[in-house]
Structure 1
Amino acid sequence: MTPEEIKRYFENTPATEKVDWKPWAKITDSQLFLNSCYTGIRNFSGPLELCPAWWHLKDFYLHMKRTASQQLPTENLPE
Protein backbone atom coordinates (compact mmCIF):
# COMPACT_ATOMS: atom_id res chain seq x y z
CA MET A 1 0.00 0.00 0.00
CA THR A 2 1.30 3.45 -0.90
CA PRO A 3 0.47 6.87 0.54
CA GLU A 4 -1.42 7.68 -2.67
CA GLU A 5 -3.59 4.57 -2.31
CA ILE A 6 -4.39 5.46 1.29
CA LYS A 7 -5.19 9.03 0.27
CA ARG A 8 -7.60 7.73 -2.40
CA TYR A 9 -9.21 5.45 0.19
CA PHE A 10 -9.88 8.37 2.55
CA GLU A 11 -11.16 10.51 -0.34
CA ASN A 12 -13.71 7.82 -1.17
CA THR A 13 -14.41 6.77 2.44
CA PRO A 14 -13.96 9.82 4.65
CA ALA A 15 -12.98 9.22 8.25
CA THR A 16 -15.20 10.56 11.00
CA GLU A 17 -14.12 13.96 12.28
CA LYS A 18 -13.25 12.72 15.78
CA VAL A 19 -11.49 9.42 16.31
CA ASP A 20 -10.44 7.76 19.58
CA TRP A 21 -7.47 6.10 17.96
CA LYS A 22 -5.38 4.93 20.90
CA PRO A 23 -5.70 5.48 24.65
CA TRP A 24 -3.14 8.27 24.35
CA ALA A 25 -4.18 9.55 20.90
CA LYS A 26 -7.53 11.26 20.40
CA ILE A 27 -7.90 12.87 16.99
CA THR A 28 -10.32 15.80 16.99
CA ASP A 29 -9.96 16.69 13.29
CA SER A 30 -9.17 13.68 11.13
CA GLN A 31 -8.79 15.72 7.92
CA LEU A 32 -6.19 17.92 9.58
CA PHE A 33 -4.39 14.80 10.84
CA LEU A 34 -4.44 13.21 7.38
CA ASN A 35 -3.22 16.39 5.67
CA SER A 36 -0.42 16.63 8.22
CA CYS A 37 0.63 13.05 7.42
CA TYR A 38 0.54 13.70 3.64
CA THR A 39 2.65 16.84 4.09
CA GLY A 40 5.14 15.03 6.33
CA ILE A 41 5.52 12.23 3.81
CA ARG A 42 5.92 14.65 0.90
CA ASN A 43 8.64 16.62 2.73
CA PHE A 44 10.53 13.63 4.14
CA SER A 45 13.86 13.19 2.39
CA GLY A 46 14.69 9.63 3.44
CA PRO A 47 13.20 6.26 2.57
CA LEU A 48 9.42 6.03 2.99
CA GLU A 49 9.69 3.18 5.51
CA LEU A 50 11.66 5.45 7.87
CA CYS A 51 9.18 8.33 7.72
CA PRO A 52 7.23 8.78 10.99
CA ALA A 53 4.30 10.37 9.12
CA TRP A 54 4.06 7.25 6.93
CA TRP A 55 3.86 5.00 9.99
CA HIS A 56 1.15 7.21 11.54
CA LEU A 57 -0.83 7.24 8.28
CA LYS A 58 -0.55 3.50 7.82
CA ASP A 59 -1.54 2.76 11.44
CA PHE A 60 -4.50 5.15 11.20
CA TYR A 61 -5.61 3.53 7.94
CA LEU A 62 -5.46 0.05 9.47
CA HIS A 63 -7.39 1.26 12.53
CA MET A 64 -10.11 2.80 10.36
CA LYS A 65 -10.40 -0.35 8.19
CA ARG A 66 -10.62 -2.53 11.30
CA THR A 67 -13.22 -0.24 12.89
CA ALA A 68 -15.31 -0.11 9.70
CA SER A 69 -15.37 -3.89 9.37
CA GLN A 70 -16.51 -4.30 12.99
CA GLN A 71 -19.41 -1.87 12.77
CA LEU A 72 -22.80 -3.18 11.72
CA PRO A 73 -24.99 -1.05 9.50
CA THR A 74 -27.68 0.34 11.80
CA GLU A 75 -29.56 2.63 9.43
CA ASN A 76 -31.54 -0.27 7.92
CA LEU A 77 -32.75 -1.66 11.24
CA PRO A 78 -36.48 -1.21 11.98
CA GLU A 79 -37.31 1.08 14.88
Structure 2
Amino acid sequence: MNPEEIKRYFESNPPPKEVQLTPWVNITDTQVFLKSCYSTVRNFTGPVDRCPAFWHLRDLYILIKKTAQKAAVEKIKETPFEEIPDETSSQAQRAD
Protein backbone atom coordinates (compact mmCIF):
# COMPACT_ATOMS: atom_id res chain seq x y z
CA MET A 1 0.00 0.00 0.00
CA ASN A 2 1.47 3.34 -1.01
CA PRO A 3 0.35 6.92 -0.25
CA GLU A 4 -1.28 7.37 -3.67
CA GLU A 5 -3.44 4.27 -3.23
CA ILE A 6 -4.50 5.47 0.21
CA LYS A 7 -5.27 8.93 -1.19
CA ARG A 8 -7.45 7.43 -3.95
CA TYR A 9 -9.26 5.30 -1.37
CA PHE A 10 -10.08 8.30 0.82
CA GLU A 11 -11.15 10.37 -2.20
CA SER A 12 -13.72 7.73 -3.12
CA ASN A 13 -14.60 6.81 0.51
CA PRO A 14 -14.30 9.93 2.67
CA PRO A 15 -13.74 9.15 6.35
CA PRO A 16 -16.00 10.61 9.06
CA LYS A 17 -15.07 14.09 10.28
CA GLU A 18 -13.87 12.82 13.68
CA VAL A 19 -12.03 9.58 14.33
CA GLN A 20 -10.37 8.09 17.39
CA LEU A 21 -7.24 6.60 15.88
CA THR A 22 -5.94 5.18 19.15
CA PRO A 23 -6.97 5.62 22.78
CA TRP A 24 -4.56 8.58 22.97
CA VAL A 25 -5.05 10.03 19.43
CA ASN A 26 -8.32 11.72 18.52
CA ILE A 27 -8.51 13.26 15.03
CA THR A 28 -11.03 16.12 15.14
CA ASP A 29 -10.92 16.96 11.41
CA THR A 30 -9.87 14.09 9.18
CA GLN A 31 -9.65 16.24 6.03
CA VAL A 32 -7.08 18.53 7.67
CA PHE A 33 -5.25 15.46 8.99
CA LEU A 34 -5.18 13.87 5.53
CA LYS A 35 -3.93 17.05 3.83
CA SER A 36 -1.19 17.37 6.42
CA CYS A 37 -0.12 13.74 5.96
CA TYR A 38 -0.15 13.98 2.15
CA SER A 39 1.95 17.15 2.25
CA THR A 40 4.45 15.72 4.72
CA VAL A 41 4.81 12.46 2.78
CA ARG A 42 5.29 14.38 -0.48
CA ASN A 43 8.06 16.53 1.05
CA PHE A 44 9.78 13.68 2.91
CA THR A 45 13.24 13.07 1.45
CA GLY A 46 13.82 9.53 2.71
CA PRO A 47 12.09 6.25 1.94
CA VAL A 48 8.32 6.61 2.34
CA ASP A 49 8.14 3.63 4.71
CA ARG A 50 10.29 5.60 7.16
CA CYS A 51 8.03 8.67 7.13
CA PRO A 52 5.98 9.07 10.35
CA ALA A 53 3.22 10.86 8.39
CA PHE A 54 2.89 7.78 6.18
CA TRP A 55 2.61 5.59 9.28
CA HIS A 56 -0.26 7.74 10.56
CA LEU A 57 -1.92 7.76 7.14
CA ARG A 58 -1.63 3.98 6.91
CA ASP A 59 -2.99 3.54 10.45
CA LEU A 60 -6.04 5.66 9.62
CA TYR A 61 -6.58 3.69 6.40
CA ILE A 62 -6.41 0.36 8.26
CA LEU A 63 -8.79 1.59 10.97
CA ILE A 64 -11.35 2.89 8.46
CA LYS A 65 -11.18 -0.32 6.39
CA LYS A 66 -11.64 -2.51 9.50
CA THR A 67 -14.53 -0.34 10.70
CA ALA A 68 -16.22 -0.56 7.29
CA GLN A 69 -15.80 -4.35 7.18
CA LYS A 70 -17.12 -4.74 10.73
CA ALA A 71 -20.15 -2.56 9.90
CA ALA A 72 -20.86 -4.66 6.81
CA VAL A 73 -20.70 -7.90 8.81
CA GLU A 74 -22.98 -6.49 11.51
CA LYS A 75 -25.45 -5.34 8.87
CA ILE A 76 -25.52 -8.84 7.40
CA LYS A 77 -26.11 -10.33 10.85
CA GLU A 78 -28.97 -7.91 11.52
CA THR A 79 -30.69 -8.63 8.21
CA PRO A 80 -33.36 -11.27 8.77
CA PHE A 81 -33.25 -14.36 6.61
CA GLU A 82 -36.15 -14.46 4.21
CA GLU A 83 -37.23 -17.68 2.57
CA ILE A 84 -38.33 -17.65 -1.01
CA PRO A 85 -42.08 -18.52 -0.96
CA ASP A 86 -42.07 -20.62 -4.14
CA GLU A 87 -39.06 -22.61 -3.01
CA THR A 88 -40.55 -23.63 0.34
CA SER A 89 -43.85 -24.69 -1.18
CA SER A 90 -42.13 -26.76 -3.89
CA GLN A 91 -39.97 -28.48 -1.26
CA ALA A 92 -43.08 -29.31 0.78
CA GLN A 93 -44.73 -30.79 -2.30
CA ARG A 94 -41.69 -32.98 -3.03
CA ALA A 95 -41.76 -34.34 0.52
CA ASP A 96 -45.35 -35.56 0.03
| TM-score band, normalised by shorter chain | 0.7 to 0.9
What SS does the aligned partner of 2:45 have?
coil
What is the Cα deviation at residue 5 of structure 1? 0.6
Match of 2:52 in 1: 52
Distance 1:53 1:35 in 2: 11
Q: How many residues align?
A: 74
Aligned residue runs from structure 1 range 3-18, under 5 A: 3-18=3-18
RMSD over equivalenced CA pairs, Å: 1.2
1:64 counterpart letter in structure 2: I
Which segments of 5 or more consecutive residues in structure 1 lack a partner in the other structure? none
What is the Cα deviation at residue 21 of structure 1? 1.5
Is the aligned partner of 1:40 residue 2:64?
A: no
Distance 1:19 1:57 in 2: 13
1:7 counterpart letter in structure 2: K
- Larger gyration radius, structure 1 or structure 2: 2
Q: Which runs of 4+ in 1 moved over 3 A?
A: none
Q: Relative to total residues, which structure has the larger helix share, 1 or 2?
A: 2
Distance 1:49 1:15 in 2: 23
Match of 1:25 in 2: 25
What SS does the aligned partner of 1:14 have?
coil
What is the Cα deviation at residue 19 of structure 1? 0.6
TM-score (structure 1 length as normaliser)? 0.88
